[in-house]
Amino acid sequence: MGAVSMVGGGDEGDDVVTPGELLGDSAHLVPGRGAYLAPNGRSVRASLTGTRRLVPPPPGSSDQRSVVEVVGLKAHGAVPQPGSIVVARVTKVMARIASADIMCVQSKAVREKFTGIIRQQDVRATEIDKVDMYQSFRPGDIVRALVLSLGDARAYYLSTAKNELGVVSAQSIAGGTMIPISWTEMQCPLTGQVEQRKVAKVD
Amino acid sequence: MEYVNPLTGFRIDGRRPNEMRQIKGELGVVANADGSALFEMGNTRVIVAVYGPREVQNKSQQSNNQALVRCEYSMANFSTGDRTRRQKGDRRSTEISLVIRQTMEASILTHLMPRSEIDIFVQVLQADGGTRSACINAATLALADAGIPMRDIVTSCSAGYLCSTPLLDLNYVEDSAGGPDVTVGILSKMDKVTLLQMDAKLPMDIFENVMQLAIEGCKAIANYIREVLLENTKQLESRRGG
């Protein structure tokens, strides 16, 4: 490894690395975020510009190697991954599908929106064939959903089939922001009208 | 014309045969882009803006297991000696776009960003020879600025052979002399070549020398680029109060 300059105001001597720099040997380190295993299988190199951090291995795990990661200062925009929680705005509601624009991935806003769809069978966990899409979502609702998979060529597949997933915020026909009263109903504060949604249980 | 003075050994712009032009790199010059950079090699000035990873515009080209890398190269009307309006899809532009795309794609870890697209827009502001190399160097800086994971820093430099001397980093006058022009792009730390292009012909042993000279030029640029990135990171950290 060539001479690596220290960050000014040094905190524990975390050094700044650039892409391609050797971080260590694969016998002692596991590549984390911002690092990768070189094709020769033995060296771990950086893939981002940032500070090098060592994460100690979880106690009791079989692999006792530390994880080395590079924390970039300007990380690239979030991309939805299967298993991540996303926040999306519903754009279209149809008989068996609701279409939504993904705006945040795990509390990080995306640079440009991704398209996701919620299928009828993924709206809730019980009685999935009796789901009425129009009584679960309306266009303009903000929903919290789970990414099931990368889906087809057009959109990610999302699911709201958990208690904490579903409509987080919605506007009533009268224009007021509705208050959730149960897991299927929301009430408008201006008119008192109750509307049906698949509501998320927010703590 | 004597491109290398036989008495002093200087070239027409006063450089020695193995001397590169003055290089300068700057990050974050396009505020709207995810990453951007300005790179100068002597009088050649190139600006690169990187957008991505973002959703693929043309769904038919989408790939399920890796990111799509797109590159567009264009020269500004005022970049050369005579002001000409260049066609968007002319042969030279398409060729250089392809070359830059393939070179950067070899370094970007595309499998980490499936179903998305990375756009690299290259604009030449001033062309004085070695535009291809300046574009690749600027693209590396811009991709690093955007935080896109890469295997290594890709740098490029050109070298030629005039008056029986290998010359490093040809400018426009030396390039138009009709001698061979070898452009090399390398992954600096891993010591691998990702781009090797030459026009005209060269005997094999002389080619080895010229290519080796270009590779040394690439390594020098890589050291400079690394310093620019480290300096930029320190500045960002200090602004953040780190």
Are A36 and B238 a contacting pair at CB < 8 A?
no
CB contact under 8 A, B230 and A150: no
- CA of A21, closest CA in chain B: separation in Å? 7
pLDDT in tens, B206-242: 999 999 999 999 999 999 999 999 999 988 888 877 5
Contact criterion met (CB < 8 Å) for A47 and B34: no
Look at residue B106 in the predicted model and tell me its pLDDT: 92
- Give pLDDT tens digits for B56-100: 888 888 888 999 999 999 999 999 888 888 877 889 999 999 999
- The residue among A72 and B164 whose pLDDT is bigger is B164
Answer yes or no: do A20 and B35 touch at CB < 8 A. Answer: no
Q: In sequence order, what are the beta bridge partners of A144? A: A87, A166
Do A97 and A177 belong together in one domain?
yes
User: How many distinct structural domains can be found in chain A?
Assistant: 2
* Residue in A closest to B28 by C-alpha: A74
Q: Does B104 touch chain A (CB under 8 A)?
A: no
Residue A203 lies in a domain: no
Contact B144 A19 (CB under 8 A): yes
- pLDDT the model gives residue A111: 74
In-domain check, residue A178: yes
* Cβ of residue B139 closer than 8 Å to a chain A Cβ: no
Task: Inspect the interface and report whether the beta carbons of A115 and B242 lie closer than 8 Å.
Answer: no
Tokens representing residue B35 in the block: 């990453």
Residues of A (89-128) whose Cβ lies below 8 Å from B: 111-115
Q: CA nearest A37 in B: which residue?
A: B151
Structural domain contains residue A80: no
Nearest residue of B to residue A110, measured between CA atoms: B54
How far is the alpha carbon of B25 from chain A, nearest alpha carbon, in Å?
A: 15
| Domain presence at residue A201 | no
Please tell me the distance in Å from A196's CA to the nearest CA on chain B.
32
Two tokens at B46? 């190139």
The pLDDT of residue A76: 61
Q: Which of A9, A22, A76 sits opposite B53 (nearest CB)?
A: A76
Topology classification of domain B23-241: Ribosomal Protein S5; domain 2 (3.30.230)
- Does pLDDT of B134 surpass 60? yes
Subunit contact A79:B116, Cβ cutoff 8 A: yes
With cut-offs at 50, 70 and 90, classify the pLDDT of residue B186. Answer: very high
ipTM of the prediction greater than 0.85, yes or no: no
From B205's Cα to the closest Cα of chain A, the distance in A is 30
- Assess whether A112 and A159 both reside in one domain: yes
A202 within some domain: no
Query: Tens digit of pLDDT per residue, chain A (203 long)?
Result: 334 433 333 344 468 999 999 999 999 899 998 999 998 889 999 999 999 989 888 887 777 888 999 988 776 667 888 999 999 999 999 999 999 999 999 888 887 788 999 999 999 999 999 999 999 999 999 999 999 998 887 899 999 999 999 999 999 999 999 999 999 999 999 999 999 999 999 87
Q: How many CB atoms lie within 10 A of CB B202?
A: 18
User: By residue range, what is the domain housing residue A128?
Assistant: 85-196
DSSP codes of every residue in B96-127: HHHHHHHHHHTTB-GGGSTTEEEEEEEEEEE-
CA angle B91, B108, A87 (to 5 degrees): 110
State the CATH number of the domain containing residue A104: 2.40.50.140
State residue B242's pLDDT score: 54
Specify the residue for token string 């693929």: B56
A184 plus A90 within the same structural domain: yes
Q: Which residue has the higher pLDDT, B19 or A63?
A: B19
Q: Where is the domain boundary, A45, A72, A99?
A: A72
Assign residue B163 a region (left: φ > 0; alpha: ψ between -120 and 50; beta: otherwise): left
Q: What is the nearest CA distance from B237 to chain A, expressed in angstroms?
A: 8
CA–CA separation, B242 and B235 (whole Å) = 10
Residues A94 and A181 in one domain: yes
Identify whether the C-beta of residue A86 lies closer than 8 Å to the C-beta of residue A52.
no
What is residue B206's predicted lDDT score, i.e. its pLDDT?
95
* C-alpha of B135 from chain center: 3
Residues of A in contact with B106 (CB under 8 A): none
Placement of tokens 């009796």 in the chain: A130
A32 and A93 assigned to the same domain: no
pTM of the prediction?
0.78
Give percent above pLDDT 90 in chain B. 76
pLDDT digits (tens, 9 = 90+) for B98-131: 999 999 999 999 999 888 899 999 999 999 999 9
